[in-house]
Structure 1
Amino acid sequence: MKRVHSDIIQFRGSHYDFGFIQGERLKDSILLPNRRKQRNSSSKSLLINEQQATEMLQSFAPKIWEEITGLADSLEWDLHDAIREFGGYYLEYVRSGCSIFTGSDFMVRNYDSAPQGYEGRFALYQPTDGGYATIGPTMQITGRTDGLNEKGLAMGYNFINRRNSEDGFICNMIGRLILENCASIEEAIDLLKDIPHRRSFSYVLLDRTGKSVVVEASPRSVVVRESSVSTNHFELLTEENRYQTDDSRRREETMLAYQNMADAYSAFRLLNDSDQGVFSKKYTTASGTLHTASYFPHSLEVGFAIGPDRLPLMFDFGRWLQGERLYAKRINGKIDTHLPFVHMAEM
């Protein structure tokens, strides 16, 4: 078992200042040098059209653009490199797993992917220049893999397919935009229908109404269905699915069997316990469970665990929003893999 951690980042202030302070912290981190090595060794370069990406960011994510500018200034990078690294537009994304289970007042989510891409950052951010406060794990610094905002909107996503991609934003940036700009499921659906999608993903949304929906989004179409369970296949846009969906359907059936009787804690145990059939150890195929998170729209609490068979570390996001500082610095866990984590070991 390998010891793994996520650093907890807290900030209140403007997006530019948030980007700048993150850049200051990243200067001494091995995360960005490792990412550079991964990019150089990849057969698929992360090329972008800088003008197009800039226009899309300034149109759909003007505040994130300011955060990227702050990162660039702090790191002393040119904007092209900063957009490519942090912009979440027109980038490659490795395939992943993921399972999501919702009740009327909770969302539990397994994030399944490759250790080499997990950056180990958990952010609480309260902007002072527009946008809702958010809490959740980061991806590519500016993006979010899942999370909760101050209005009680919870979000997680599931990978579907890399085939037939088009120019557009990738999942983690879309997740950030949902959390920072949407107060309800309806607003999030409108954003998902408006924004260009790079890949096919399902976005699971839960708000304080107790309603849970799965938004099936591809570069070609966006449709909505109500459901309490989501894995890695579409139910409506079936033409977008991968050829192999057996494991996705198996995890879905396991969770569906519990949908009418699970409370938040038992749902967390269903996804986090290694003997329940949902937690995945397939790290070599980029689909092993890295964290299990639980989000509570009404109480604004969050539970988070790295690795299997663990009790979640609980965060009271509501109290943090009122000005109370969180004193924890890291979330610790253990994962059974020999593969390196990009934020912990030189690659």
Structure 2
Amino acid sequence: MTVHEVHFPVRFEASVEDQPGPLWKARFDRYWPAYRTWFLRTATVGRPTYLDCRRAMRQHMPELVPVWESLVDLAGGGDVEARFLSLWCPPPYIGGCTQAVWLDPTGHEEPALLRNYDYAPALLEGNWVATRWLGPRVVAMSDCLWGALDGINEAGLACSLSFGGRAVSGQGFGVPLVLRYVLEMATTTREAVRMLERLPVSTTYSITMLDRQADWATVFVAPDRKAEVVRQAVVTNHQRDIEWPEHAKATRSVERQSWLAARVAQPGSAQDIAMALMSPPMVQDAYQRGYGTLYTASYRPRSGAIGLLWPGSEPWMQSVADFKEGQRDIVFPPPPAAVGST
């Protein structure tokens, strides 16, 4: 059986729950056995204690502490659950992904942040969640049960992340929780940049932001060096240099970035870029190796329009102001004839 003959079904679910409650608890019960195995794969000896995790949360993300404590209570109040949910110095993880900021040179169409999320289908939660944990609405694709892979808040700040192409790990938070914190606390790209410049991270990632005023930036974050702010409209899985050649080759990081950067510079629309992300060479099909494209996301901060897209399937369009519950079942990889279709 070839790779292309192996199909992986994934259910994407949209839910609305302003404060942590039964919906979050149901997700925890569903995913906790797998997350617990991942979290404990290197045992707990030498890992941060509960007190270490609480101290880190209080020092760096004090506004999120009440939410963290509420989630820990819902999870049963256990030591391992609390340490996992803090995402302080989690086990290392890697992925793929592409991010692009599109600005209409004519000024007729609103700016957009578009991204491909590339990972293993079995490791995706697939939960598209609308919350009001700290008051303002946040809509995000969930990871690690309360972190975010990408999302937008009602102030009009959209963010997404991609792996930065380095195997270095260090003392800091898992990047999905960092992205969650930014979406909960920042209202503009400038505010988000200041947060990313001070927050410690456990692995190397690139975080791209676009706000309602069309201000945008990408921040390269890492556990062992200062955050670097760049005006790079297309980001894949390396930063300034190739520092992990094997990973860059496996994910075709340089080729994808070069191709999409050239495409973004050509005349067209945000929809054209979305279609490009769902077509070769941008869409990745290494699902069994953890580098398959699982969805394309589109964020338009000015209008609050958001969407999830897949080749050969109807786009799932939503808005921050009117986010509706629902579900979509997607099979990876899609049939070859469907790739690139609308």
What is the TM-score when the length of structure 2 is the normalising length? 0.85
The residue that corresponds to 1:123 in the other structure is 129
Q: Secondary structure at the match of 1:136?
A: strand
Q: Which amino acid aligns with 1:231?
A: T
What per-residue deviation string (whole Å, max 9, x for no partner) do you get for residues 232-288 of structure 1? 1112xx38x323434101000110121132312111111123xx2101111222221
2:191 corresponds to 1:195? no
Q: Secondary structure at the match of 1:59?
A: helix
Q: Tell me the percent identity.
A: 22
Shift of 1:146: 0.5
For 2:159 and 2:183, locate their aligned partners in 1 and report how far apart those are by CA, in whole Å.
Answer: 7
Q: Secondary structure at the match of 1:4?
A: strand
The residue that corresponds to 1:319 in the other structure is 322
1:24-103 maps to which residues of 2 (within 5 A)? 24-26=25-27, 29-39=29-39, 42-43=41-42, 47-78=47-78, 80-103=79-102
Contact in 2 for aligned 1:182/1:188 (Cα 8 Å): yes
Within the candidate set 309, 330, 333, 2:312 is matched to 309
2:327 corresponds to 1:330? yes
Q: Secondary structure at the match of 1:198?
A: coil
**Alignment RMSD (CA, Å):** 2.2
1:175-194 maps to which residues of 2 (within 5 A)? 175-194=179-198
Contact in 2 for aligned 1:113/1:288 (Cα 8 Å): yes
Q: Which amino acid aligns with 1:8?
A: A
Q: Which amino acid aligns with 2:179?
A: G
What per-residue deviation string (whole Å, max 9, x for no partner) do you get for residues 139-167 of structure 1? 01110000111111111111024533211
Say if 1:44 and 1:201 are closer, same or farther in 2 by CA, change over 3 A.
farther
| Structure 2: tracts of 5 or more residues without a match | 1-6, 104-110, 335-342
For 2:38 and 2:169, locate their aligned partners in 1 and report how far apart those are by CA, in whole Å.
Answer: 21
Within the candidate set 148, 170, 174, 2:152 is matched to 148
Shift of 1:39: 4.3
Say if 1:37 and 1:201 are closer, same or farther in 2 by CA, change over 3 A.
closer
Shift of 1:24: 3.2
Q: Which amino acid aligns with 2:329?
A: N
Contact in 1 for aligned 2:196/2:221 (Cα 8 Å): yes
2:259 corresponds to 1:250? no
Contact in 2 for aligned 1:279/1:289 (Cα 8 Å): yes
Contact in 2 for aligned 1:8/1:330 (Cα 8 Å): yes
- Greater mean alpha carbon deviation, residues 170-179 or residues 158-167: 158-167
Q: Which amino acid aligns with 1:303?
A: G
The residue that corresponds to 1:268 in the other structure is 274
For 1:282 and 1:185, locate their aligned partners in 2 and report how far apart those are by CA, in whole Å.
Answer: 33
| Structure 1: tracts of 5 or more residues without a match | 13-17, 321-325, 338-347
The residue that corresponds to 2:112 in the other structure is 106
> Which runs of structure 1 show a deviation greater than 6 angstroms over 4 or more consecutive aligned residues?
none
Contact in 2 for aligned 1:99/1:231 (Cα 8 Å): yes
What is the TM-score when the length of structure 1 is the normalising length? 0.84
2:223 corresponds to 1:226? no
Q: Which amino acid aligns with 1:256?
A: A
